[in-house]
């Protein structure tokens, strides 16, 4: 059996002004042809696909995998080039593959198409036809659409947030495909059920309620019936008509898939008041961190969530911390101009910088400081934790600045804080600091959760705010927001 593997991966934040370009894909994760086989050493969907190829003695047909750090709308010409290459490689001689394993995010939008992932699946079906089974994996934050699910034998979303099960979901996709190709299971029917519920990532943490119980129901159905079920809460910062939580089920029995979707959908709706979130103002959060007796404290600056498209240069917490004369803080910021200045003076020298808040006016003001350059790095590290283990990350040139007992890591590129190697590779030990600022909503827990003695959610400004009522939704979407906005007394 010849099984094609590949994918396109981007989570699009419509509030980000700068478009996502070809360089954004090429500098994060880009592999074509045989280069994809290097993913065997990673615990990613691609790694799971390749494990399945080995287990079932398939010949893997590596096509294209391109991923970019979450950001603004994907330039449509860039999308056209990527999807064109992906499909060209999947349909190249000696003919169509026997099956397809493909990874998409599910919340990619271009400058012309709000459902780019659905368009990928439509074109793939158009080229391969109905006789080639396709199994699709998507992110937990997929804004799942009918177009995405219509032409697949199964749509398999992550079960966890933080996302630590991509490898397992990739292998699960291979098992589903193997059952079809071996003739043990006939082709599956996929049912998609959209619910009128929009939630912020901050309330989608899968280790707590209500997501924990919802996912327990998913696993219960899968253990009892021949059905594959996914719940995708969605990504609320993509301005698209497809917003809302989805339940997707696939089974050889279409009636069963529909029954499961309806049952889990009813459970979600019965628990939707459980999607609650509270955060402290920047001033209150810093005050509480400075008074904390157990350290380190994690200050969650989720409005500047790099994993949701934030610029990673928000300064609200840093500015208040320095204003209060605090020490022992660790914060990582994307600031290429300040990196250039620090590299120019060299290790051990004193440098005066205006750090952060250079991308836009949504994330604070540049903070002027004088510090000593402690380290200059090429900014490369390999994930060693539970998120995409084995992936190589390139922060670009990175410097560590010491300022009044605080540690400020400045990098040329935005980095999602999903692995502790981001700091450990720079000689910064998270467990020994007083406080850490993380530019993330929930996924930071995969990197720093084991170190946190206290967690403080911060209501800082930014494009990934948990206060969805501040965003420019239409009236119908605004009514879907959870938690509901309470009327004033």
**Over the stretch 105-115, which tens digit does the pLDDT of each residue have?**
999 999 999 99
Q: Are 124 and 38 in contact (CB under 8 A)?
A: no
Average the pLDDT over 81-97 and give the result: 95
Q: Are 332 and 418 in contact (CB under 8 A)?
A: no
The C-alpha angle with vertex 74 and arms to 69 and 76, in degrees rounded to 5, equals 155
Average the pLDDT over 473-486 and give the result: 88
What whole-number distance in Å separates Cα of residue 134 and Cα of residue 98? 9
Which residues, listed in sequence order, are joined to residue 372 by a DSSP beta bridge? 350, 402
- Give whole-number Cα distances, 405 to 130, 240, 435, in Å: 63, 45, 12
The DSSP 8-state label assigned to residue 57 in this structure reads T
pLDDT band at 483 (very low <50, low <70, confident <90, very high): confident
Inter-helix orientation angle 316-323/282-291, to 10°:
50
**Over the stretch 237-295, which tens digit does the pLDDT of each residue have?**
999 999 999 999 999 999 999 999 999 999 999 999 999 999 999 999 999 999 999 99
Average pLDDT, the chain: 96
pLDDT at 38: 97
**Over the stretch 164-192, which tens digit does the pLDDT of each residue have?**
999 999 999 999 999 999 986 667 899 99
**Over the stretch 99-148, which tens digit does the pLDDT of each residue have?**
999 999 999 999 999 999 999 999 999 999 999 999 999 999 999 999 99
**Over the stretch 336-376, which tens digit does the pLDDT of each residue have?**
999 999 999 999 999 999 999 999 999 999 999 999 999 99
Task: For residue 118, give every residue at least 6 positions away whose Cβ sits within 8 Å of its Cβ, in sequence order, or none.
Answer: 145, 146, 147, 148, 242
What whole-number distance in Å separates Cα of residue 375 and Cα of residue 401? 7
Q: Is the dihedral of CA 341, 300, 138, 222 positive or negative?
A: positive
């Amino acid at each position: 059996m010849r099984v094609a593997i590949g994918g396109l991966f981007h989570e699009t934040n419509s509030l980000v002004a700068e478009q996502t370009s070809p360089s954004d894909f090429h500098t994060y994760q880009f592999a074509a042809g045989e280069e994809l086989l290097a993913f065997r050493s990673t615990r990613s969907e691609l790694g799971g696909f390749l494990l399945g190829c080995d287990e079932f003695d398939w010949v893997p047909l590596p096509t294209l995998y391109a991923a970019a750090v979450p950001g603004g709308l994907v330039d449509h010409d860039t999308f056209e080039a990527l999807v064109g290459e992906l499909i060209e490689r999947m349909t190249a001689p000696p003919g169509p593959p026997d099956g397809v394993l493909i990874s998409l995010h599910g919340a990619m939008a271009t400058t012309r198409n709000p459902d780019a992932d659905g368009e990928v699946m439509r074109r793939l079906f158009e080229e391969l036809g109905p006789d080639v089974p396709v199994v699709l994996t998507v992110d937990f934050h997929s804004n799942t659409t009918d177009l995405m699910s219509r032409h697949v034998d199964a749509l398999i979303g992550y079960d966890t947030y933080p996302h630590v099960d991509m490898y397992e979901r990739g292998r699960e996709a291979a098992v589903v495909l193997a059952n079809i190709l071996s003739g043990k299971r006939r082709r599956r029917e996929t049912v998609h059920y959209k619910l009128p519920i929009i939630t912020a990532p901050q309330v989608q943490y899968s280790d707590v309620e209500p997501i924990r119980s919802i996912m327990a129901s998913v696993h219960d159905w899968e253990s009892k019936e021949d059905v594959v079920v996914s719940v995708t809460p969605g990504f609320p910062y993509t301005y698209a008509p497809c917003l809302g939580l989805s339940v997707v089920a696939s089974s050889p029995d279409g009636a069963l898939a529909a029954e499961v979707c309806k049952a889990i959908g009813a459970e979600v709706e019965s628990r939707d008041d459980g999607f609650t979130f509270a955060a402290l103002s920047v001033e209150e959060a810093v005050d509480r961190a400075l008074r904390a007796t157990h350290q380190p404290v994690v200050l969650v600056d989720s409005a500047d969530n790099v994993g949701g498209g934030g610029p990673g240069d928000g300064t609200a917490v840093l500015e208040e911390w320095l204003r209060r004369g605090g020490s022992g803080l660790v914060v990582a910021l994307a600031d290429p101009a300040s990196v250039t200045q620090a590299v120019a003076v060299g290790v051990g020298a004193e440098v005066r910088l205006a750090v952060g808040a250079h991308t836009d006016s949504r994330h604070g003001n540049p903070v002027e400081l004088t510090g000593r350059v402690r380290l200059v790095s090429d900014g490369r590290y390999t994930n060693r934790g539970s998120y995409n283990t084995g992936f190589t990350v390139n922060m670009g040139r990175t410097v560590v600045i010491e300022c009044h007992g605080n540690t400020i890591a400045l990098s040329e590129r935005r980095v999602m804080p999903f692995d502790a190697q981001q700091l450990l590779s720079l000689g910064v030990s998270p467990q020994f600091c007083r406080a850490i600022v993380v530019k993330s909503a929930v996924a930071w827990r995969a990197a720093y959760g084991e170190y946190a003695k206290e967690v403080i959610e911060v209501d800082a400004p930014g494009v990934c705010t948990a206060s969805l009522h501040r965003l420019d939704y239409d009236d119908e979407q605004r009514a879907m927001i959870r938690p509901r906005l309470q009327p004033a007394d």
